[in-house]
Amino acid sequence: MKKLYGWRRLKRMIAAGSVIAVTAAYAGPAAMFGVAYNIEGGDIGFTVKVLSNNEKNKVIAAGGATYYPWAPAKKFGLDASVGYLFDGVALTGGWDLLKNDFHTAVGYVNVVEDSDGSAPAADEGGSDGTPPPSEGTDGPT
């Protein structure tokens, strides 16, 4: 009788889960939704990843899961990757632990504009939504 989860598979799943957990523990993680391609197997799939950073123009670490709907076997993958986060698009490359194959992916990411992660300063208008007073005027006439 064939084992459902052998020791090798369990080690791979623990390694992939650790990568995802460590990646999510960094300040400012982000999620990526995109398309993946396994280089040697030629499988194309849909991927979801957790990225180490949500600031644009930064090098990132990523961990994710991929579904390969057209693959003849092994329709799921877990990967550990590194890549680069552009303005709203991430490009990653790494190793798919379940399929034992090189893995590349590109996808959408909601990025942060400010490097410190804070929201932009609000103008000093009234609390009722009125615009701020113009300089050089004493108020309404």
Flag whether 134 is in a domain.
Answer: no
Flag whether 135 is in a domain.
Answer: no
Flag whether 132 is in a domain.
Answer: no
Task: Convert 121-136 to b/e letters by CB count within 10 Å (16 or more is b).
Answer: eeeeeeeeeeeeeeee
* Enclosing domain of residue 101: 7-109
Look at residue 119 in the predicted model and tell me its pLDDT.
47
Per-residue pLDDT reduced to its tens digit, 6-54: 666 666 666 666 665 555 554 588 999 999 999 888 999 999 999 998 8
Number of domains in the chain: 1
Average pLDDT, the chain: 79
Flag whether 61 is in a domain.
Answer: yes
Per-residue pLDDT reduced to its tens digit, 87-116: 999 999 999 999 999 999 999 998 876 555
Q: Is the whole-model pTM more than 0.75?
A: no
Show the tokens assigned to 79. Answer: 């990967």
Look at residue 28 in the predicted model and tell me its pLDDT.
80
